[in-house]
């Protein structure tokens, strides 16, 4: 087997409810404030849940007018975060072999929200008023293809739609493309724009979301006894991944390395996790094996921590299964209380946070965590962040369909 190449993170781009750009995301974490508020994008009065984490986003601040006309909100998030990541990595694409640069993206719903908007146009005004870009914005691969077209990168290209694990899986796929020699640079991450009435309503119908409408900023409560469901968010995060020696040779800033990745399936239920957490544990354990890292070497876990009654204790059980005695002193946090659950974008946001946490010796807290729920008995970093110099971090993502994904990241040399 050919020698496996090492993979560095050299750029971070973020479009999130707590901040836009890498620094905006980091500053948002240090502000210790949730971005969850009453929904303004549409009339949510018919739903039991009427709160979300929206982004105050103006695409014209980042994209040319000709591109804005061709991209829906989902596409604007994707291309903006990718542009920010490329700029952060200081990549001169004009001087690169673009056949060796690719893109992998993840999303749960893609352009479905835009399709919903255009259906309304069709019903009110007829077919002639429907946007001619509808087909190109809603097809499954639009995210990574928009990145390829915008930046002229012709390497491996794929968008997966594996629900709330898709952003993590896209980064894992990008990691493997470089590690195994198919590319030298990958633009990888996740994007989601689900805050439309019917998209939102689909999750409201199954009563998966919090109804703490009178206290939005405290509605997302991962691992807390008072949690009653997740809070929907939106946005995008993208990482520039690069073969390590190449990154060093050009003097690139390296946030962290991706050292290991794994995913698997519960084969149990479309919305509920396997109660024993065995496959979630398997994903974590396999990612550790892929990285060649022992459980006790992990210094932080950014948990999926969706603030739902079923996910949080199951993930806790899986972490205890994998880490054994080390689990009791292993810092864990879920950052979703800051920016809601942006479905396929969440794992990418959390991977960006892990990378910066390794670089900057600081671990973010679990906002709104006050009293542990039943089965939730780990060190969830309550209240404020924690200074910590660690060598390895893990990022977990779990999604509909029983999908489990885990990344292991390493402090840069």
Q: Long-range contacts made by residues 360-364, C-beta under 8 angstroms, separation at least 24?
A: 360/26, 361/387, 361/388, 361/389, 361/390, 362/386, 362/387, 362/388, 363/300, 363/331, 363/333, 363/387, 363/388, 363/390, 364/29, 364/333, 364/335, 364/338
Residues paired with 382 in a beta bridge? 366
CA atoms within 13 A on the CB side of 9: 32
Catalytic site includes residue 48: no
Q: CA-CA-CA-CA torsion for 285, 287, 288, 293, nearest 10 degrees?
A: 170
Whole-angstrom distance, CA of residue 292 vs CA of residue 405: 17
Spot the catalytic one: 164, 199, 354, 376: 164
CA distances (Å), origin 393, targets 256, 302, 306, 329: 10, 8, 19, 14
Spot the catalytic one: 145, 158, 199, 341: 341
Catalytic site includes residue 264: no
Burial group, residue 125, by CB count within 10 angstroms (0-12, 13-18, 19+): exposed
Catalytic site includes residue 164: yes
Contact between 140 and 170 (Cβ < 8 Å)? no
Contact between 225 and 203 (Cβ < 8 Å)? no
Please report where in the chains the tokens 């008995």 appear, as a residue.
Answer: 377
Spot the catalytic one: 158, 304, 354, 376: 304
Contact between 323 and 298 (Cβ < 8 Å)? yes
b/e per residue 220-258 (b: at least 16 CB within 10 A) = bbbbbeebbbbbbbbbbbbbbbbbbebbbeeebebbbbb
Whole-angstrom distance, CA of residue 270 vs CA of residue 13: 31
Q: Which residues are catalytic?
A: 164, 304, 341
């Amino acid at each position: 087997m050919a020698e496996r190449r090492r993979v560095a993170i050299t750029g971070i781009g973020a479009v999130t409810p707590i901040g836009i750009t890498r620094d905006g995301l980091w500053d948002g974490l240090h502000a210790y404030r949730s971005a969850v508020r009453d929904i303004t994008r549409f009339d949510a009065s018919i739903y039991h849940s009427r709160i979300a984490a929206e982004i105050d986003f103006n695409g014209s601040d980042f994209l040319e007018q000709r591109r804005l006309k061709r991209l829906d909100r989902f596409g604007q998030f994707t291309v903006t975060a990718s542009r920010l990541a490329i700029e952060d990595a200081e990549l001169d694409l004009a001087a690169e072999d673009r056949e060796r640069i690719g893109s992998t993206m993840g999303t749960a719903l893609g352009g479905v929200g835009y399709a919903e908007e255009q259906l309304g146009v069709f019903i009110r005004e007829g077919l002639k008023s429907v946007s001619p870009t509808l087909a190109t914005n809603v097809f499954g691969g639009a995210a990574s293809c928009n990145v390829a077209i915008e930046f002229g990168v012709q390497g491996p290209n794929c968008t997966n739609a594996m629900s709330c694990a898709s952003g993590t899986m896209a980064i894992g796929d990008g990691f493997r493309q470089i590690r195994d020699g198919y590319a030298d640079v990958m633009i990888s991450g996740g994007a989601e724009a689900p805050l439309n009435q019917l998209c939102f309503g689909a999750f409201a119908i199954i009563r998966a979301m919090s109804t703490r409408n009178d206290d939005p900023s405290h509605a997302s409560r991962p691992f807390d006894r008072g949690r009653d469901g997740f809070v929907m968010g939106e946005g995008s995060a993208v990482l520039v991944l690069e073969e390590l020696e190449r990154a060093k040779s050009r003097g690139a800033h390296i946030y962290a390395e991706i050292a290991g990745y794994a995913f698997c399936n519960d084969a149990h239920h479309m919305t509920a996790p396997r109660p024993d957490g065995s496959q979630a544990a398997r994903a974590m354990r396999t990612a550790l094996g892929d990285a060649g890292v022992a459980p006790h070497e992990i210094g932080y876990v950014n948990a999926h921590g969706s603030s739902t009654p079923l996910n949080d204790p199951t993930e806790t059980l899986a972490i205890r299964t994998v880490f054994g005695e080390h689990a009791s002193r292993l810092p864990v946090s879920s950052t979703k209380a800051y920016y809601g659950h942006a479905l396929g974008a969440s794992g990418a946001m959390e991977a960006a946070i892990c990378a910066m946490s390794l670089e900057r010796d600081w671990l973010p807290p679990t906002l709104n965590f006050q009293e542990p729920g039943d089965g939730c008995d780990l060190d969830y970093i309550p209240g404020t962040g924690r200074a910590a110099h660690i060598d390895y971090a893990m990022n977990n993502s779990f999604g509909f369909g029983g999908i489990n994904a885990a990344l292991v990241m390493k402090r840069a040399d």
